[in-house]
Amino acid sequence: MNRLIFRDAPLRTALELYFRTVGIKNYVIDNRVLGLVTATGSVTGEAFPTALFPGIVCKIENGVWLIQEATQPDERSRALLLNKLACPIFFGEPRRVAGVALRSQGSPLAIVEHGSPPDSEIRVVARGDHFGEAQVSAITEKGLVLAERAQRLEIPLAGLVPRPGGSPLAIPGVERAVFSDAPLASVLELILKSGGPHFKLDSPLEGYISGETGTSVVSLLMRSANTPLNYTKENGIWHVTKRGNTPPAAPRFVSLEDIQQGRAQLPVIFGAPRRVAAVLLGEKPLALLETGNPPQTKRQTVTEGDTYESFRVEKITREGIVLNDGTRRFLVPLTPLSPKP
């Protein structure tokens, strides 16, 4: 059985992915078919999946599948046409996976979008294909992995986000936020200390997030936290609650059980396990600094000029924190958790 997963996927490309997945080559898509589709389902080549493509009419004439749009674009599609949506930022550029096809026969496929609409580049790729100088090394239901020399770039399956300046949950003075296996609850505290929106957890919130984004906090949390979250604003406070019983997202290279059982570690930097889990870059950079291996890890939010142990926080960058005690200086890197040997 073939399975399709779409997240704000360009409708025409999503239809093309369906036909390619089930092996149908004779089809015509009307030029008036525009918009986005978010859906998940199993498909065959025997019947058109109307549940995946609401508002689309399919006819077969002389062996050719004819695709037409019977309804007006929905609100999300209209926002796209009005140039109000953009791709999230990953590894410094707007990019995302908009859809994946997990095929019963043949390698999986993915819709990759690079840049932001209406000028983005949209391609359907398979394992082994090249995307720029990188090669697609893996495609899963969560996205794809690009390999470029020794670098490994994980591009997640993610929806579009509001264009910069249009998000009601932007962080004032923050131009870039980078998270590397950062505990979700600590991320919300970091955002509050940065002067961003005031979040209140209405239930225990576990899990870890990784990713890079501009000022749109809610888009980062929604696409990275794995646990579906609800956001409601009351008296100036955003209340965050999780929906359903989805397991919390684990770090990239270790499991939640590894962390609980002490089988995860931080790199040893200047004689102690240390790492940076998150940085907010802008007018007043902030960083989430961790010391000690899980589950005894201590976390502290620092900014440039703060004192940490016997060191002064000299600089916060995309790479991590530079500490200085007057005679020595060293970098505590922004890095994920890793398993113990």
**How many Å apart are CA 173 and CA 164, to the nearest integer?**
13
pLDDT of res. 57: 92
Written as tens digits, the pLDDT of the chain (341 aa) is 899 999 999 999 999 999 999 999 999 998 888 889 999 999 998 899 999 998 899 999 999 999 998 777 788 888 887 778 889 887 777 889 999 999 988 899 999 998 888 778 899 999 999 877 788 999 999 999 988 777 788 899 999 988 765 444 556 677 788 899 999 888 878 877 877 666 676 666 778 888 877 655 555 555 445 555 666 666 667 677 766 666 777 888 999 999 999 999 999 999 999 999 999 988 889 999 999 999 999 999 999 999 888 899 999 999 999 999 889 999 999 999 999 98
Is the pTM for the entire model greater than 0.75? no
Termini Cα distance of the chain: 39
What is the CA angle 119-14-144, rounded to 5?
Answer: 80
* Token pair in block for residue 218: 């809610």
Q: Helices marked H in 83-144 — which ranges?
A: none
